[in-house]
Amino acid sequence: MASADDIRATVRKYVETVGAGTAADIVALYREDATVEDPVGTEPHVGHAAITEFYAAIEPLDRSTELFSIRVAGNSAAFSFRVVTRFGEQTFTLDPIDVMTFDEDGRISSMRAFWSQDDMVTG
Amino acid sequence: MASADDIRATVRKYVETVGAGTAADIVALYREDATVEDPVGTEPHVGHAAITEFYAAIEPLDRSTELFSIRVAGNSAAFSFRVVTRFGEQTFTLDPIDVMTFDEDGRISSMRAFWSQDDMVTG
């Protein structure tokens, strides 16, 4: 099992790359057979190809992220963070809570993101 | 499916009763066949009798709670909150992130709590 420190390091790297990395940087943190359900209740993206396509949508955006807190339990973690996306003068701020599971090497085996359109703040 | 408002109301009531209610008050928010995994990675408590026994442990304690944020997605929610427990001069503060699923009546069908002993702050 990955240690709590390994899991926290992967979560930090994930939030950093969602804020400033390429889709390839983000997907490299996932297992080849990982699943991504974002938001929870939608059809999961399964495997590196589908997950790359999912994150490719944010790659061209002007964005930044901030990690608020991480809770590790066994081979899982829940964490809250902020994603700010900018279009010209307008900003879109979302604070999701994500849940991830990890394999023995600290790679992400599943991600589920809890948020809805109601949580998006436009400024 | 329960509405997002129903789900938020149940989460608020849950955090309130964990802070100031009896085990029976808390368990009344759960379906009869619900599961409680607290913390994640431990054996789940299944059904009202086992869940009552689980919360009975906190019933005699001097405690308070505070809800920080809720994220609703489909029939699920993730939320962060604080539980403070007092023994004489000493306080134990824990900020878990919990994930719940809900039935069509807004009752809790499952709860999973993300935290570890590392997250407990003694003061």
Give residue B51's pLDDT.
Answer: 98
Q: Which letter does DSSP use for residue B59 in this model?
A: T
Q: Is B41 left (phi over 0), alpha (psi -120 to 50) or beta?
A: left
* pLDDT at B60 (0 to 100): 93
Has the ipTM of the complex gone over 0.85?
yes
Please give the CATH architecture assigned to the domain spanning A4-116: Roll (3.10)
Measured CA to CA, the distance from residue B99 to residue A96 in angstroms comes to: 13
Domain range annotation of chain A:
4-116
Q: Is B44 on the interface with A (CB under 8 A)?
A: no
Residues contacting residue A47 through CB under 8 Å, at least 6 positions apart: A32, A33, A34
Q: Do A97 and B74 touch (CB under 8 A)?
A: no
| Residues on chain B touching A3 (C-beta within 8 angstroms) | none
For residue A67, pLDDT over 90 is answered with yes
Q: Which two tokens stand for residue A68?
A: 């608020």
Q: What is B4-115's CATH number?
A: 3.10.450.50
pLDDT confidence of residue B44 = 98
- For A73, the closest of B73, B80, B114 (CB atoms) is B114
Judged on CB neighbours under 10 Å (0-12, 13-18, 19+), B29 is buried
Nearest residue on chain A to B39, judged by CA atoms?
A: A73
Chain A residues whose CB is inside 8 A of the B4 CB are 116, 118
pLDDT confidence tier of residue B42, bands split at 50, 70 and 90? very high
* pLDDT tens profile A31-55: 999 999 999 999 999 999 999 999 9
pLDDT per residue as tens digits for the range A4-26: 999 999 999 999 999 999 999 99
Compute the count of residue pairs across chains A and B with CB atoms less than 8 Å apart: 78
